[in-house]
Amino acid sequence: MQAATTIGSGNKPALTGFTPWLVCLAVFALLPLTLGPYWLNSAIMGLFYVMMASSWNLLAGYTGQVSFAHAAFAGIGCYTSGILSAKLGLHPLLGLPLGVAMAALLSLALGALCIRMGGIYLSLTTLGFSEIVRIVIQNEYEITRGTMGLKVPFIIGPYSKITAFYLMLAVAVAMVGLIAWLVNSDMGLKFRAVLNDETAARSLGVNVTRARVFAFVISGAMAGLAGSIYGHYLLLITPHIPSLDLMFHVLAMAVIGGLGTLAGPVVGALLLEVLSEFVRHFSDKYHILVFGCVALLFARFAPQGLVGLVGDWWKKAGAKGGE
């Protein structure tokens, strides 16, 4: 757990330029013109995981707090919006902000209670919270339909994978942009100060608890938004969304991509989603185990992740070329 907490140490969130991002975005935006329904669904899933991994990285990569409640907040946002739509007839576009608000409210309550503990105690507390949320959802059949799943309407207009793709893409880009702005703001400086040396940060006047709770709430709200959109895309919400299975999937993506970097969770999410589709062809049971093992190897031997490895290689290649 300590290794996971310090993976992001020393990484700077500075942007290297907008051109590579714009090129990648333009290429990705053209995918619906070339992909069939199966791989278009994988692209949509990849965008969902981009939102989840990026928002979790805001907490773990920039403040060093390892929480296992992220998938639970996605489930809270998802079920709040879904229940309001399915049971009360509220339009999904009105249910989405309420789902985000519920996720933010519960993350504030949880963060205020346990964020001071930090370390393994925070991880265990959020792990227990996540399981409580899943058990409640699974057993409140009259409200959530339990393991049978809750049918919900599509987020806007008639069902369309292309509509869902561009909606997911727009929200994912906005979320990554917000994270980029945040970590380069004064609050981002406080995040990094807390991550690198909590005692020194406190001695310089940084309210460590407030900075951590702020990151916890923003991260939870983003997860609630991602879960809400994801549920209305699937049309059927199940307890799989707030499960530890999904949580460990997100954790592996962020770690393998590179914690404490802006591009790391994006690269990790998209790469592992494509990889998971190939792994499922061989066995649908062991893909999470495979990702977990790969994440552990990266945490041990390449804590900077794929983005860090590519950055190091690029610097060495540039140094050799300048000789």
**pLDDT tens digits for range 83-100:** 999 989 899 999 999 999
Asked if the model's pLDDT at residue 62 lies above 60, the reply is yes
pLDDT at 257: 87
State the Cα–Cα distance between residues 164 and 260, nearest whole angstrom.
29
Share of the chain above pLDDT 70, in %: 86
Higher pLDDT, 301 or 215: 215
Higher pLDDT, 140 or 8: 140
**Considering the chain, what is the average pLDDT of its residues?**
84
Residue 47: both structure tokens together? 């965008």
Mean pLDDT on 253-258? 88
Residue 262: both structure tokens together? 């802006």
State the Cα–Cα distance between residues 37 and 272, nearest whole angstrom.
19
Confidence band of 18 (pLDDT split at 50, 70, 90): low
Residues in the chain: 323
Residue 292: both structure tokens together? 């977990």
Q: Is 320 helix (H, G, I), strand (E, B) or coil?
A: helix
Q: Which tens digit of pLDDT belongs to each residue from 198-248?
A: 778 888 888 888 889 999 999 999 999 999 999 999 999 999 898 888 898
Number of H helices, E strands in the chain: 15, 2
Confidence band of 7 (pLDDT split at 50, 70, 90): very low
| Distance, CA of 41 to chain centre | 18
pLDDT at 193: 86
Q: Which residues pair with 236 in a beta bridge?
A: 151
Mean pLDDT on 259-271? 88
- What is 266-312 written as a DSSP string? HHHHHHHHHHHHHHHHH-SSSHHHHHHHHHHHHHHH-TTHHHHHHHH
Asked if the model's pLDDT at residue 10 lies above 50, the reply is no
State the Cα–Cα distance between residues 207 and 238, nearest whole angstrom.
39
Max Cα-Cα span within the chain: 70
CB atoms within 10 A of CB 159: 13
Higher pLDDT, 315 or 143: 143
Q: What is the pTM of this model?
A: 0.85
Confidence band of 288 (pLDDT split at 50, 70, 90): low
Residue 134: both structure tokens together? 């899943």
Q: Which tens digit of pLDDT belongs to each residue from 158-186?
A: 899 999 999 999 999 999 999 999 999 98
Asked if the model's pLDDT at residue 53 lies above 90, the reply is yes
**Per-residue 3-state assignment (H helix, E strand, C coil) for 32-50:** HHCCCHHHHHHHHHHHHHH
Domain ranges for the chain: 13-242
Cβ within 8 Å of residue 73, ≥6 positions away: 103, 106, 107, 219, 220, 221, 223, 224, 227
